[in-house]
Amino acid sequence: MKYEPVASVQPDILRWARHTVGLDVAEVAQRLKRPPQEIEAWEKGISAPTYPQLEKLAYQIYKRPLAVFFLPTPPEETLPQKEFRTLPDADMQSLQRDTYLHIRRAHAYQLALRELFDGRNPASRQIWKAISLSQSKGVAAQAQTIREYLGITLERQITWETDEQALKAWRKNIESCGVFVFKAAFKQKDISGFCLVDDALPVVYLNNSTTKTRQTFSLLHELAHLLNSTNGLSKFDTAYIERLPNQRRQVERFCNAIAAEVLIPERDFVDQIRQFPANAEHATEEQFSALAGRYGVSREAALRRLLDRGRVGKVFYEHKAKRWAAQKKASTGGDWYNNQGVYISRQFAREVIGRHFRNQISLEHAADLLGIKPRSYARFEEHVLQGAEA
């Protein structure tokens, strides 16, 4: 009967599926509208869910194909707690289900990239193979090496008129060097992004819910992780760094320093702040905005550089950063096709479209790779080919 328990489901699979989205028994019970004791009984093999309950678990809660639940043992899959070591243990335990799903999606993109490019990166220049960062070497020189490899001069950078233009330029040049950059709107707003190291197809995944300036900094921070050969998972508020064990703390500080130096070269920064009062805390909002605007970064990032140089105090920095964060403009939504084009790596999207055009993959397969419905494919393709992606 349809509503009889599905006895062939293994308890280990049910526990594994729950753990891989960071839910506890009570949260699953609440979503299913069933008592926690019933979920516990399923996971101990005392009883089993009915077929409709299993479908809801698979498709709505755990986001897994139904067939997975009929495997004899859980598939091999690394949990974020083991994959990422750049957040304190307490922060890792507090990751939301949505964040788990984004990490899983990034892995799916990486698998799709291997399929599309036969495991080889299509870029002729691959930055992680050309540059290997070291904490024992000077930050400024290494940051300049990154700038030169990306082909972004300070003279070019200061001509960008908007934060969006700056983000688009950094992303385009980083992708041209073999790194695939994806974005998505996270429900867990304090996560700024993460990266997945890979010898052939490294991925950066950014939280599109943050400001363009924050995304730019996160992009460079995650690039530093890739060039340091470490997976990174970062938060918007950097206070978490001080709670890390010493070695991990040093890695996060180093990646932040590299990102800051790439975006705000120290030598030019020193010249610019000569115009500031001796006590930089007396600078006007217009001065802070102009300084940040010169580099296409947030006011908080520019202020952090002043803090690092001892030109402002920590209390002032924290007060200003909190105030500016509260002024962040909400997203207006915009056109769905434009947004989807922004989310997906340009190189990835163009390759999928090209394969479908050459009849190498079906419409359904192309849509699945892009994370869209088949009926939306034609308009999405049009936007990508017209250069709507950013």
Per-residue pLDDT reduced to its tens digit, 43-77 = 999 999 998 999 999 989 998 888 888 888 988 87
Q: Kindly write down the DSSP assignment for every residue of 23-84, as one continuous string.
A: --HHHHHHHHTS-HHHHHHHHHTSS--BHHHHHHIIIIIS---GGGGGSSSPPP---HHHH-
Distance (Å, rounded) from C-alpha 364 to C-alpha 100? 25
- Say yes or no to pLDDT of 390 above 70: no
Q: Is residue 290 part of a domain?
A: yes
Domain boundaries, position 354: 332-385
Same domain? For 59 and 175 the reply is no
Q: Is the pLDDT of residue 328 over 70?
A: no
pLDDT category of residue 368 using cuts at 50, 70 and 90: confident
Out of 83-97, 240-254, 322-336, least confident range: 322-336
pLDDT of amino acid 86: 83
Q: Using the Cα atoms of residue 299, residue 85, residue 241 and residue 89 in order, give the sign of their dihedral.
A: positive
| Least confident among 225-229, 337-341, 383-387 | 337-341
- Position 49 in a domain: yes
Residue 108 and residue 211 in one domain: yes
* Pair (246, 320) in one structural domain: no
pLDDT, tens digit, for every residue of 256-286? 999 999 999 999 999 999 999 999 999 999 9
Do the Cβ atoms of 332 and 307 come closer than 8 Å? no
Evaluate if residue 346 carries a pLDDT over 90: no
Within this chain, do residues 64 and 161 fall inside the same structural domain, yes or no?
A: no
Question: What is the mean predicted confidence (pLDDT) over 220-235?
Answer: 94
Tell whether 235 is covered by a domain: yes
- pLDDT exceeds cutoff 90 at 84: no
Which pLDDT band holds residue 85 (cuts at 50, 70, 90)? confident
pLDDT mean over 319-337: 68
Same domain, 364 and 378: yes
Tokens of 9: 């489901």
**pLDDT bracket for residue 387 (50, 70, 90):** low
For the chain, give the mean pLDDT.
89
- Going edge to edge, which strands form the sheet with 203-207? 180-184, 203-207, 191-196, 232-235
Q: How many CA atoms lie within 13 A of 152 on its CB side?
A: 26
Q: Can you give the CATH number for the domain in which 39 is found?
A: 1.10.260.40
172 and 36 part of one domain: no
- Does one domain contain both 376 and 314? no
Q: Is residue 390 part of a domain?
A: no
Ramachandran quadrant class, 123 (left: phi over 0; alpha: psi -120 to 50; beta: rest): beta
Does 36 have pLDDT greater than 90?
yes
Q: Are 147 and 203 part of one and the same domain?
A: yes
Position 55 in a domain: yes
Query: Angle at CA 297, nearest 5°, toward 293 and 299?
Result: 75
* pLDDT of amino acid 330: 46
258 shares a domain with 271: no
Choose one of 214, 246, 263: the last residue of a domain.
263
Among the candidates 288, 303, 324, a domain finishes at 324
Q: Give the residue from 303, 324, 345 where a domain finishes.
A: 324
Q: HSE on the CB side for 10, CA within 13 Å?
A: 13
Mark whether 175 and 247 lie in a shared domain.
yes
CB 338 within 8 A of CB 294: no
- Residue 380's pLDDT is what? 85
Average pLDDT over residues 355-366: 89
Report yes or no on 86 lying in a domain.
no
Residue 1 in any domain: the answer is no
Question: So what's the pLDDT on residue 369?
Answer: 84
What's the confidence (pLDDT) of residue 324?
Answer: 87
Q: What is the pLDDT at residue 134?
A: 96
With H, G, I as helix, E, B as strand and everything else as coil, classify residue 179: coil
* Number of domains the chain contains: 4
Q: Are residues 161 and 234 in the same domain?
A: yes
Whether the per-residue pLDDT at 341 is higher than 70: the answer is: no
Per the domain annotation, does 88 fall within a domain? no
Q: In this predicted structure, what is the pLDDT of residue 39? A: 95
Q: Which amino acid is at 248?
A: R
* Host H or E run for residue 366: helix 363-370
Q: Are residues 230 and 247 in the same domain?
A: yes
Rounded mean pLDDT of 201-216?
A: 94
Q: Which residue has the higher pLDDT, 231 or 335?
A: 231
pLDDT of amino acid 302:
94
Can you say whether the dihedral through the CA atoms of 177, 236, 97, 81 is positive or negative? positive
Confidence of residue 214 (pLDDT cuts 50, 70, 90): very high
The pLDDT assigned to 333 comes to 52
User: What pTM does this model have?
Assistant: 0.85
pLDDT tens profile 164-189: 999 999 999 999 999 999 999 999 98
